[in-house]
A and B are shown apart, each in its own frame.
Chain A
């Protein structure tokens, strides 16, 4: 299926103007955090739950210094290292939840839209109910339930985020499938003897997943905030399992009163910057996806200068 990558890249390659600049800025900002996440062990000077180095314990709530650029927190951890490692946690959770959303939401939306009937009505009902639920509340409920099963792990948080965002993937794919399945080429596929599975996989899939990448980036920004929110409430990942910005902010709350600003500032800044980056990517893409916002790149019309001295042109004029 050579068409699939091309179909997926289409929203990215078709941007123009302001949208393109938003996209470039967003991609750069996001790329920085992706680099942090991927190369965290090399970039971060210490581990995320490391309280001493070479036998020397770190200071508690130590000021930013040459050893600890962003200082240390009340658990003796190096704040700079935790910010870097936090990017890895954020990326893991977001990627895992979006992959789950796509792996579950796309086939479900495809089947629901294609078969219709009571199956469709049932799935739509469930998804609508999930969508109507305030999303943060839903995330809280799910992580509460899942923490009992999986502990405060990356998997548990990712699954809660999946529950929050899957209705959107389902909806988009189901609605595009509803219109795409009426196309003559679907009936033509049936006419050559294709089974329902083949029709969904080889004929409908490529034509209904085009909006998924945009949805993914838009949700990624939201997911970072939800993840931080869960961590802030203490429902997310525990400090010793992984570095998580929201949870660090929660602990920094107690420090703020005593003039310790570094434990809160840096994780907060990381959240703001990554969310901004992802939002810029998402909005930049959204502009190309949403036809009412889209502006085609127009070539400027250049009028030839009126040149009185060439009679040939005057005749044409």
Chain B
């Protein structure tokens, strides 16, 4: 599924192809003992991403969308389950552990929580100098020179004041500067910044972001900037990739994404940006529902249970039917007791499937209830995804239109993974 124009191919710094990172879900001791598989989490699921030298690419999405995992995979901190990550001409998946450690001269990472990212029992000099030490710089004097230079670059001066400090003696902003110093002291090419300012006070956020831009300019860095906050992404990035449940759902130049958000999830995120003008405030929460379980993502488009623009081909399935019936009962409490006996148990619908058999009190009665629900809210997109309702025993089988997870396709200047944007051709 090559979606990038061929002209981009030559001077790529990083080229991520169909990358998947899955984590085995740890079951209890018993199920591990019996070798029972308790499922996998698809933290990253078929992502394509390329970085040109000098670019700032944002990874944006809610918590749990796989941004950090993708970032960590770029350093080889988590192994790729499938796909490849090429850094210039090396494939990270092919490298030995030793070579992988050497790669980390070139790719560095800044962590979200500066309070946790520094060893509490190392001084600033030891912490920053250790990056040099593990890459073989034996002389303490040479290391100190490198550390002093890095600390100056991140604006921790006078440097002498900070060298012998422990993390507990520093403020959050200062700690993050130390983390940045440790990241740049090896002269890397690519910096993965995982929500570098989200744990900091408002007052220092802008300063740290400005510092990162200065460093990029001075040291010719390429950034992967991870955030759940579109506002800083807009300020910081040349391109953004919007991620949802391990997939990139929209990617393109920052201006275009912000001027014309196409994917419904992007639009929802935009609506969640706090608006400085109170009259223009839009409801801040994302449309209905919570982030689904990453171990069992929705069929079809993973966003469909929450999507306000969903249509028939979005991958409707048994779990959506259960949600719909239960929401109906929440509204129509009077009808609950009677309908409940007709419909029967719904728990089996939790196994994701495009056909759902419900009802125990007679096919005609079940049909009537479903018809009633449809009449109640004819605009509910789930109904458009229903292919057929057939009698099955004392209930009915509802069949939904099977749908694949939409692929990224060009739309305007960006790429979108949504059935509303079929290939422009």
Spell out A's residues near B (CB within 8 Å): 1-4, 6-7, 183-185, 187-195, 198, 202-203, 206-207
Interface residue? B165 (CB, 8 A)? no
Which residues of chain B from 84 to 140 have any CB-CB distance to chain A below 8 Å in the complex? 101-105, 108-109, 111-113, 116-123, 130-131, 134-135
Cα distance, A207 to B166, chains bound together (Å): 14
B122 to chain A: which residues have CB within 8 Å?
3, 202-203
Contact present for B113 and A191 (CB under 8 Å): no
A189 to chain B: which residues have CB within 8 Å?
119, 130
Q: Which 5 A-B pairs have the closest CB atoms?
A: A3-B121, A184-B116, A193-B104, A192-B131, A193-B101
Contact present for A192 and B119 (CB under 8 Å): no
In the complex with contacts A3-B122, A188-B111, A194-B117 CB distance below 8 A = no
Contact present for A184 and B121 (CB under 8 Å): no
Contact present for B105 and A193 (CB under 8 Å): yes
Contact present for B130 and A194 (CB under 8 Å): yes
Contact present for A184 and B117 (CB under 8 Å): yes
In the complex with contacts A188-B111, A192-B182, A192-B186, A203-B134 CB distance below 8 A = no
Contact present for B119 and A191 (CB under 8 Å): no
Q: Can you report 17 residue pairs joining A to B where beta carbons are below 8 Å apart?
A: A7-B121, A184-B111, A184-B112, A184-B117, A185-B117, A185-B119, A188-B109, A191-B75, A191-B108, A192-B104, A192-B130, A192-B186, A193-B103, A193-B131, A203-B119, A206-B119, A206-B121
Interface residue? B77 (CB, 8 A)? yes
Cα distance, A4 to B121, chains bound together (Å): 8
Contact present for B121 and A191 (CB under 8 Å): no
Contact present for B77 and A190 (CB under 8 Å): yes
B121 to chain A: which residues have CB within 8 Å?
1, 3-4, 6-7, 206-207
B104 to chain A: which residues have CB within 8 Å?
191-193
Cα distance, A6 to B123, chains bound together (Å): 13
Contact present for A193 and B77 (CB under 8 Å): no
B186 to chain A: which residues have CB within 8 Å?
192-193
Cα distance, A185 to B117, chains bound together (Å): 4
Contact present for A185 and B109 (CB under 8 Å): no
Interface residue? B179 (CB, 8 A)? yes
In the complex with contacts A2-B123, A192-B182, A193-B101, A187-B77 CB distance below 8 A = yes
Cα distance, A191 to B123, chains bound together (Å): 18
- Interface flags for B176-196 (1: CB within 8 Å of A; 0: not) read 000100100010000000000
Contact present for B101 and A195 (CB under 8 Å): yes
B contact residues, range: 20 to 34
B120 to chain A: which residues have CB within 8 Å?
185, 207
Residue of A nearest to B100 (CB): A193
Residue of A nearest to B167 (CB): A185
Contact present for A188 and B108 (CB under 8 Å): no
Cα distance, A177 to B130, chains bound together (Å): 21
Residue of A nearest to B115 (CB): A184
Contact present for A188 and B179 (CB under 8 Å): yes
Cα distance, A200 to B120, chains bound together (Å): 14
Cα distance, A4 to B120, chains bound together (Å): 11
Contact present for B117 and A193 (CB under 8 Å): no
Residue of A nearest to B118 (CB): A185
Residue of B nearest to A184 (CB): B116
Contact present for B116 and A183 (CB under 8 Å): yes
Contact present for B77 and A185 (CB under 8 Å): no
Cα distance, A193 to B123, chains bound together (Å): 19
B108 to chain A: which residues have CB within 8 Å?
191-192
Closest approach, in angstroms, between the C-beta of B70 and any C-beta of chain A? 15
Closest approach, in angstroms, between the C-beta of B262 and any C-beta of chain A? 35
In the complex with contacts A192-B108, A192-B186, A184-B123 CB distance below 8 A = no
Contact present for B77 and A191 (CB under 8 Å): yes
A2 to chain B: which residues have CB within 8 Å?
123
Contact present for A184 and B77 (CB under 8 Å): no
Contact present for B77 and A202 (CB under 8 Å): no
Contact present for B134 and A193 (CB under 8 Å): yes
B131 to chain A: which residues have CB within 8 Å?
192-193
Cα distance, A164 to B16, chains bound together (Å): 54
Closest approach, in angstroms, between the C-beta of A207 and any C-beta of chain B? 6
Residue of B nearest to A194 (CB): B134
A203 to chain B: which residues have CB within 8 Å?
119, 122
A3 to chain B: which residues have CB within 8 Å?
121-122, 166
Residue of B nearest to A188 (CB): B117
Residue of A nearest to B186 (CB): A192
B102 to chain A: which residues have CB within 8 Å?
193
Contact present for B77 and A192 (CB under 8 Å): no
Cα distance, A251 to B92, chains bound together (Å): 72
Which residues of chain B from 60 to 83 have any CB-CB distance to chain A below 8 Å in the complex? 72, 75, 77
Cα distance, A98 to B365, chains bound together (Å): 78
Q: A184-B111, A187-B72, A193-B186 are in contact. List 6 more A-B contacts (CB 8 A).
A: A183-B116, A184-B112, A189-B130, A192-B134, A193-B104, A195-B134
With most chain A CB atoms within 10 A of its CB, the pick from B103, B105, B109, B113 is B109
A194 to chain B: which residues have CB within 8 Å?
101, 130, 134
Cα distance, A207 to B120, chains bound together (Å): 8
